[in-house]
Structure formats: C-alpha cells, structure tokens
Amino acid sequence: MPRIFEKPGDIDRPVIVKFHGAQGGKGYFIANSTKDFYDGIKDYPGDEKYVLQEYIVGVPMYTHYFYSPLTQELEIMSFDKRYESNADSIGRIAAQDQLDTDVRTSYTITGNIPLVIRESILPQVFEMGKNVVEKSKKLVGKGLYGPFCLEAIIDPNLNFYVFEISARIVAGTNPFINGSPYTWLRYNEPMSTGRRVCRDIKQAIESNRLDEVLG
C-alpha cells in the first residue's frame, strides 16, 4: 500500500491529497513538499477532511472481483482504468504548452476504460483478492463476499500498490454489461457483475442457503 502521512509537516516525497467523500476524484491535487501542500490547500477553504497518500507513478488498475460464499471461489470479473479529466487529457499537448497554460490538474473521473492485463501477473491479482477475503473473515462476521474492487497502481517493476478498496459493485463494471474476456472464458455466455450476483442468490434459494448470501 502507498504510505499515508499523518500531517503535512511529514511530507518528504510526492503525495496526492484526497478529500473525503464520494466526489469521484474532484479536488485531488499533488504536493511535493509541505509548502506545496499549504499553497494548494488554500483553494479549498473548509475542506479539512483529507488523506495524504504517497503518490505512486504507474498505471491505474482496478480489479473487479466476485467471491461466492456458497462455493468459496474467487473470480476475476474484469479490469478497468479511469479516465480522469485533464489529468489524462493534458498529455495530449506538448510539455512547454502545458507549462504555458498553467492548468491545475484535475482528477475528476469522467469515464472508464476496459483493460486486459498481462497474463503473467494474473496469479498475483488472484492472491491479492484471496488475501483480502481471508483477512475480512477474521475481522467481520461472514467476511467480504459478493462483488468488490481493489484499486491499485502498477509501477514499472510490476509491483501493485493498492490505494483503496470498494466493497461493492463499482462504476468500472459498466463497460462489461455482456461480460469481459475473463467471464467469457469461464461462463461462455453474457455475465455482468449484476447477473453474477443474481445467479448466486438463485443458487442459494435453490439450495436453501439464502442466509449465507444475505448481510
């Protein structure tokens, strides 16, 4: 996981300042030092709830999982990356033009892009999901089941840095209404995350195990 800094005075490397709440990345900014932080935070008066997270340079990778408590099987449903306002589009112009325009980078999410990852790192992705499920069982009752997402950055050495977990269906599954290459390999029929949830509920009803899939 990326390092979390307790206070602005501890910043000794690039950090991304993330405000609390489901705002889709709105207002996030990069600070390279304590001074950068205080210069940037001036534009957000009243926003005192934030996290200072180490900024990892790499490719954003969002893994959509499904864990069935009935079969105790972990599935990878799909992958996506987010298209983030001018944080992504600014790269379309020359570096000097970027400096001349003096645009403040915005990480507001505007869409989702489907991905297929390198096959060689699939075992690591499965291991990450499995570890989350197993740890959740030790922390909370039945543990985590159904759909969830690990939001990560992959660095040039193919190391994963997970910066967030979403214990729900995420927007990144929207491009996969008819399923992904991964669900086609497993089911050979259209299989969205929503349909996979319904199938587990139906199986639970038919086997008289409904209490196992309800919170």
Task: Please indicate, yes or no, whether residues 73 and 159 belong to a single structural domain of this protein.
Answer: yes
Task: Tell me how many domains the chain contains.
Answer: 2
95 belongs to a structural domain? no
Task: Please indicate, yes or no, whether residues 48 and 119 belong to a single structural domain of this protein.
Answer: no
CATH classification of the domain holding 15: 3.30.1490.20
Task: Please indicate, yes or no, whether residues 118 and 71 belong to a single structural domain of this protein.
Answer: yes
Structural domain for 31, as ranges: 4-54
User: How many Cβ atoms are within 10 Å of 72's Cβ, its own excluded?
Assistant: 9
Task: Please indicate, yes or no, whether residues 43 and 119 belong to a single structural domain of this protein.
Answer: no
Q: Report the alpha-carbon distance of residue 215 to residue 206 in Å, rounded.
A: 18
Task: Please indicate, yes or no, whether residues 37 and 20 belong to a single structural domain of this protein.
Answer: yes
Q: Report the alpha-carbon distance of residue 140 to residue 134 in Å, rounded.
A: 11
Q: What single-letter DSSP state applies at residue 84?
A: E
Task: Please indicate, yes or no, whether residues 78 and 162 belong to a single structural domain of this protein.
Answer: yes
pLDDT (tens digit, 0 to 9) for every residue of the chain, 215 residues total? 899 999 999 999 999 998 886 666 677 888 999 999 999 888 888 777 899 999 998 999 999 999 999 999 999 999 999 888 877 777 677 777 666 776 777 778 889 999 999 999 999 999 999 999 999 999 998 999 999 999 999 999 999 999 999 999 999 999 999 999 999 999 999 999 999 999 999 999 999 999 999 87
Coil, strand, or helix at residue 23? coil
Q: Report the alpha-carbon distance of residue 50 to residue 23 in Å, rounded.
A: 12
105 belongs to a structural domain? no
